Structure 1
Amino acid sequence: MDNAAPNSSSSAAATAAAVAAAAASGNGVQGGDRPEDPSKQNLAQVTASIQRTLGLLHQLNLNVSSFSSASQLPLLQRLNALVAELDTMQKLAEGCNIQVPMEVVNLIDDGKNPDEFTRDVLNSCIAKNQITKGKTDAFKSLRKHLLEELEEAFPEDIEAYRQIRATSAAVIHRLSAFWKC
């Protein structure tokens, strides 16, 4: 039993620390960086509550590991303080919209670094981006080749096509400038 309690406690502490780190860095918070966002306003309070809870868990671990009948009252007081802090944390967390992917929680439960998840997601995005860029470059090359072939076969039509493209590009540019205002 001595081994089970610290492991589950350290796993819970690691999960809480990861959620606090994600909250502090703004990861997973919906609504952007607007200061009037209520979830951003409660974020610091939730993070502080998580830190207080971790401190209480540490104190409880120390009390339990050196338990004697004389330390029963302080242990009960710390348990009551932990319950009150968890209640406070739950009430504060209702105002925040922080989403932690289950993969991150599973990594933490397995004793691994949650940064592995971020690294894997970024590597996956980079690979998909390279594939998409390759496809885009292939289509650009095909377009260029087709225009060259068509210009040899139909020079007048290609010149008219280029004028139409230039005119429509100018109109699109003016409209995009108008809509930015």
Structure 2
Amino acid sequence: MTTTQLENTVENKPLIETTEQLQRLIDDLINVGAGIHDYVGTQQAYQALIHRFNNIILELSTLSSNNLPYPIPIDVINYIEDGRNPDIYTREFIEVNAKSNARLKGRMQNFGKLRDILGDKLVSEFPDLKETIEGIKTRTSN
């Protein structure tokens, strides 16, 4: 995602700054790779590599000290480090949560049915508790 794709708002400012830092870091890494490939062993080439490595260290320290308003889960970082697509992680995460939500919704509905059946049985056995049981049903229903 490039900074031109992000709307320049106060909420997006940390994300835009982080994106720009990542772009600078990538550029520095490419420059170091080119410098190592073209290294001739002179003092000037050595100093240029040292300067590029210092830029990378500076970018990494600045990047790690950013306080984004939303943390990046370590699982996503591991996913990216393994060379996998974080969009796949997001899709799998959503699918797992959708299944879990469906299961929990079924449980809630079944407990609601159990509450109603148990309440009806209690009212039939103890008619003087009808008001209390109806209050419980009302407070615990969706």
Distance in 1 (alpha carbons) for counterparts of 2:59 and 2:82: 28
Aligned to 2:101: 129
Q: For the residues of structure 1 that align with 2:56 and 2:29, how far apart are their CA atoms?
A: 11
Q: Which residue of 37, 41, 61 corresponds with 1:90?
A: 61
Task: Give the partner amino acid of 1:161.
Answer: T
Letter in 1 for 2:112: K
CA contact (8 A) 2:31 2:52 kept: no
TM-score by length of 1: 0.52
* Aligned counterpart in structure 1 of residue 114 of structure 2, from 137, 142, 164: 142
Aligned ranges 1:1-181 → 2 under 5 Å? 43-65=15-37, 67=38, 69=40, 73=44, 76-77=47-48, 79-91=50-62, 93-96=64-67, 99-158=71-130, 160-161=131-132, 165=135
AA aligned to 1:84 is N
CA positional deviation for 1:70? 10
- Number of equivalences: 131
Compute the displacement of 1:144 (Å): 1.6
Cα-Cα RMSD: 3.9
User: How far apart are 1:68 and its partner, in Å?
Assistant: 6.1
2: CA distance, partners of 1:94 / 1:144:
54
CA deviation vs aligned residue, 1:55-83 (integer Å, no higher than 9, x gap): 12223334444x26499857843651452
Q: Is the 8 A contact 1:46 1:92 kept in 2?
A: yes
Unaligned runs of 5+ in 1: 1-16, 25-33, 170-181
Question: Does structure 1 retain, via aligned residues, the 8 Å contact 2:119–2:133?
Answer: no
Q: How far 1:116 sits from its partner (Å)? A: 2.5
Normalised by the size of structure 2, how large is the TM-score?
0.62
Q: Which amino acid aligns with 1:94?
A: S
The residue type equivalent to 2:29 in the other structure is L
Structure 2 portions without partners, runs of 5+: none
Distance 1:107 1:95, change over 3 A: closer
- The percent identity for this pair of structures is 21
Is this contact kept in 2: 1:107–1:113, CA < 8 A? yes
| Contact 2:32–2:52 (8 Å) recurs in 1 | no
- The amino acid of 2:73's aligned partner reads P
